[in-house]
Structure 1
């Protein structure tokens, strides 16, 4: 993870640009706290495209069934997945 002070964006722009291109996103801090993330347009499009693709797939799947899940069911499943726990049999 590449973390730098936000002042580097002004003072070392070319270096930040090179780091983003070569190493990925740069996390900028202000007064010791996270302030922003700088990434290339390609990195952003891959990230947002992945989300858009998943949402489109969910819309297509929802159109094929009347089954719906509650907010708690969905987010519980996501949390289990993030913890690498086996999914519940009901979902």
Structure 2
């Protein structure tokens, strides 16, 4: 866990920003010795959000399988993906 006092961001924003980018994980900022904020680079936040979205989709899928939903075979999955890629290419 990475903990820094809030003064570190106030005294040297550029240095703190560089630290967050190099660390590539959240940093807890404290105020008066107590945890106050969590800060991370925009890139780290984007990856975290993507993982959260993927995890949510996987949970839905696991529930569907547990409830007996019919599964697609591999060839059908690949064909569906190719169709979606082609449609996206046509739009651009």
**TM-score, normalised via structure 2 length:** 0.61
**TM-score, normalised via structure 1 length:** 0.62
My pick for the range that moved more, 56-65 or 13-22, is 56-65
Instruction: State the aligned residue count.
Output: 67
* Structure 2: segments with no counterpart, 5+ residues: 69-92
* Structure 1: segments with no counterpart, 5+ residues: 68-91
CA distance in 2, matches of 1:65, 1:27: 38
Q: Which has the higher helix share?
A: 2
Q: Flag as ranges the 4+ runs of structure 1 deviating above 6 A.
A: none
Is 1:16 equivalent to 2:21 in the alignment?
no
Instruction: Give me the CA root mean square deviation.
Output: 1.8
